Amino acid sequence: MGRVALVTGGTRGIGEAICKGLKAAGYTVAANYGGNDEAAAKFKDETGIPVYKWDVSDFEACTAGIARVEAELGPVEILVNNAGITRDTTLHKMTVEQWKAVIDTNLGSLFNMCRPVIEGMRERGFGRIVNISSINGQKGQMGQTNYSAAKAGDIGFTKALAQENARKGVTVNAICPGYIGTDMVRAVPEKVLESIVAQIPVGRLGEPEEIARCVVFLAADDAGFITGSTLTANGGQYMV
Residue 170: strand pairing partners: 127
pTM for the structure as a whole: 0.97
**Amino acid making up residue 33:** Y
d(Cα 218, Cα 71) in Å, to the nearest integer?
25
Task: Identify the pLDDT of residue 91.
Answer: 98
Percentage of the chain exceeding pLDDT 70:
100
Q: How many residues are present in the chain?
A: 240
d(Cα 54, Cα 74) in Å, to the nearest integer?
19
186 pLDDT band, cuts 50/70/90, is confident
- The alpha helices in the chain, defined as continuous H runs, are 13-24, 37-47, 59-73, 96-103, 109-124, 135-139, 145-165, 183-186, 190-198, 208-219
Average pLDDT, the chain: 97
Task: Collect all residues with Cβ–Cβ distance below 8 Å to 31 and sequence separation of at least 6.
Answer: 7, 10, 11, 15, 16, 19, 40, 43, 44, 49, 50, 51, 52
pLDDT of 1 higher than 80: no
d(Cα 141, Cα 202) in Å, to the nearest integer?
20
Q: Where are the domains of the chain?
A: 4-232
Tell me whether residue 183 is exposed, middle or buried, using C-beta atoms within 10 angstroms of its C-beta: 0 to 12, 13 to 18, 19 or more.
exposed
147 is catalytic: yes
- Burial pattern 200-215, b for ≥16 Cβ within 10 A else e, equals beeeebbebebbbebb
d(Cα 211, Cα 125) in Å, to the nearest integer?
26
Pair 29, 22: CB distance under 8 Å: yes
pLDDT of 70 higher than 80: yes
Task: Identify the pLDDT of residue 94.
Answer: 98
187 pLDDT band, cuts 50/70/90, is confident
Pick the CATH number of 4-232 from 3.30.470.20, 3.90.180.10, 3.30.1330.200, 3.40.50.720: 3.40.50.720
Task: Identify the pLDDT of residue 73.
Answer: 98
105 alpha-carbon distance from chain centroid? 11
Task: Identify the pLDDT of residue 240.
Answer: 86
CA angle (18 as vertex; 17, 20 as ends), nearest 5:
65
Model confidence pLDDT, tens digit, residues 82-98: 999 999 999 999 999 99
Model confidence pLDDT, tens digit, residues 35-52: 999 999 999 999 999 999
Model confidence pLDDT, tens digit, residues 138-155: 999 999 999 999 999 999
d(Cα 1, Cα 19) in Å, to the nearest integer?
15
Average pLDDT over residues 113-140: 98
Pair 67, 112: CB distance under 8 Å: no
Task: Identify the pLDDT of residue 135.
Answer: 97
183 pLDDT band, cuts 50/70/90, is confident
pLDDT of 188 higher than 90: no
Model confidence pLDDT, tens digit, residues 3-31: 999 999 999 999 999 999 999 999 999 99
Task: Identify the pLDDT of residue 196.
Answer: 92
Q: Which of 27, 33, 52, 147 is catalytic?
A: 147
Task: Identify the pLDDT of residue 185.
Answer: 84
Q: How far is CA 120 from CA 106, 165, 166, in A?
A: 23, 12, 14
Task: Identify the pLDDT of residue 195.
Answer: 93
Percentage of the chain exceeding pLDDT 90:
95
Residue 163's φ and ψ, nearest 5 degrees, are: -65, -40
